Structure 1
Amino acid sequence: MTKIGNRRDHLVRRLVQLYVGLALYGFSMALMIEATLGLDPWDVFHQGLTRLTGLSMGTVTIVVGALVLLLWIPLRQRPGLGTVSNVVVIGLVVDAALALLPTPQPLPVRVGFLAAGIVLNGMATGLYLGARLGPGPRDGLMTGFVARRPGRSIRLTRTVIEVTVLAVGWLLGGTVGVGTVAYALLIGPLAHVFIPLFRVPPPAALPPAATPDAHPA
């Protein structure tokens, strides 16, 4: 296969991985919402706004993502295709998944929904970040604040942002519970596993395609 063909396949892989990851992220959100055992900080905020405005969860997710993206301008952050796609795709998928998924009543089923949602969320994060087509607007907000003040702790910045949106979301009626704590404890280790696992190497790191079997899967 030619070098151009190799690069085309590489881009196709990244695009497919990006959109699979974003769709899976929206689906994982819907699982955690239906579990009604607590959401991650940003989704507590989204759900609080949903209850305040009467808009769907997906619509609020899109609107908040777009507003957060506007904050990138003073921070001099540059969005990628993945950033813009993140704003739209996740919101559309979460609404579609909520329309299709049942709302379980037995506690074991709700726990299963929550556990699956957290694991799939970690996997989805690895997929869309590993595609290297741009971070989500909320991730970029965090890195933008850190970049503006070198030496500022990424962990501290993220904690401040997420505690703030969690508190506001809770005051607006978003669901805080054991799922919120479980997500906070597990998403870091899950991302640590899945981001390197799904990271697509840059084209320069690809092996030469001497035979059809040589190009990357």
Structure 2
Amino acid sequence: MIKKIISTMVRLFFGLFLYAFGLVLAINSNIGLSPWDVFGQGISKTLNITMGHATISVGFVIILINFMLGERIGWGTIFNMIFIGEFMDILMFNRIIPVSTNIVISVIMMFCGVMVIALATFLYIGAELGAGPRDGLMVALTRKTNKSVRVVRSIIEISALVVGYLLGGFVGIGTLIMAFSVGHAVQFIFKVFKFDVSKVKHRYILDDILFVKNSLYQINE
């Protein structure tokens, strides 16, 4: 039991770190922010906060939307909201990933970022502790519309892009690459690992609360 919990948490946090790494790769490719980072930058400018904290703020709002759509919240959802933003700030403030000044390197960094994000999505959703805010939205809309992950994810990314641009986020050729490729990359990774996101059985926070409550009730008896 303990080994399973540890392996699950390692998978979750490795996925969250990879997601942040993929985002910073895209940012530092210097040819345009990813759609969600365009949105995050717009929020960052509006509220005068860091990109990481903007990501956390956006995640909180999306969690509320997911809840209204009937998507249950897991520990992975909360950790996603908090730690991806914090990992992003650590990577950016310490300049761990260099900023590209070469167009060829920039394009390579952008596509690498896309694939890293797709792999990270598979890892932390597969931990079955609840999808992250954005991916929870993807899952909820996939279930409600019966559309493919590729279509739903692309619509979400493009919507974030448009709103972010209106808020003053930076848009470049890399932004379009991210907007139209992330959904395809995620679906490709899911197929490679034969991962059906609609069949994932997450353990949610409410499940743990009920488990603790029932355990305490049995002890008191």
Q: Same fold (TM over 0.5)?
A: yes
Q: In the alignment, which residue of structure 2 is the partner of 1:181?
A: 176
Q: In the alignment, which residue of structure 1 is the partner of 2:23?
A: 29
Q: Which has the higher relative contact order, 1 or 2, with Cα contacts under 8 A spaced 6 or more apart?
A: 1
Which deviations, in whole Å up to 9, do the C-alpha atoms of 1:37-77 show, x marking residues without a partner?
Answer: 12332221111222222211000000110111122333232
- Is contact 2:35–2:178 with CA below 8 Å preserved after alignment? no
Q: What percentage of residue pairs aligned between the two structures are identical?
A: 35
- TM-score (ref. length: structure 2): 0.75
- TM-score (ref. length: structure 1): 0.76
- Is contact 2:73–2:130 with CA below 8 Å preserved after alignment? yes
Q: Distance in 1 between matches of 2:184 and 2:152?
A: 19
Mapped pair 1:164 → 2:132: no
Q: Distance in 2 between matches of 1:116 and 1:146?
A: 25
Q: Distance in 2 between matches of 1:158 and 1:107?
A: 27
Which deviations, in whole Å up to 9, do the C-alpha atoms of 1:107-144 show, x marking residues without a partner?
Answer: 23323322321221122112111212111112223443
Give the alignment of 1:99-178 within 5 angstroms.
Answer: 99-101=93-95, 102-145=98-141, 150-151=144-145, 153=147, 158-178=153-173
Q: Distance in 2 between matches of 1:115 and 1:187?
A: 9
Change (3 A) 1:191 1:144: closer
RMSD value over aligned CA atoms? 2.6
Q: Give 4+ residue runs of structure 1 displaced > 4 Å after superposition.
A: 154-160
Give the alignment of 1:8-47 within 5 angstroms.
Answer: 8-47=2-41
Which deviations, in whole Å up to 9, do the C-alpha atoms of 1:143-183 show, x marking residues without a partner?
Answer: 43565xx5564666555443332111112222222222322
Aligned length: 193
Q: Distance in 2 between matches of 1:131 and 1:137?
A: 15
- Is contact 1:72–1:140 with CA below 8 Å preserved after alignment? yes
- Is contact 2:24–2:92 with CA below 8 Å preserved after alignment? yes
Q: Distance in 1 between matches of 2:124 and 2:194?
A: 9
- Is contact 2:154–2:179 with CA below 8 Å preserved after alignment? no
Q: Which runs of 5+ in 1 are unaligned?
A: 1-6, 203-217
Q: Distance in 2 between matches of 1:103 and 1:132?
A: 34
Q: Which runs of 5+ in 2 are unaligned?
A: 202-221
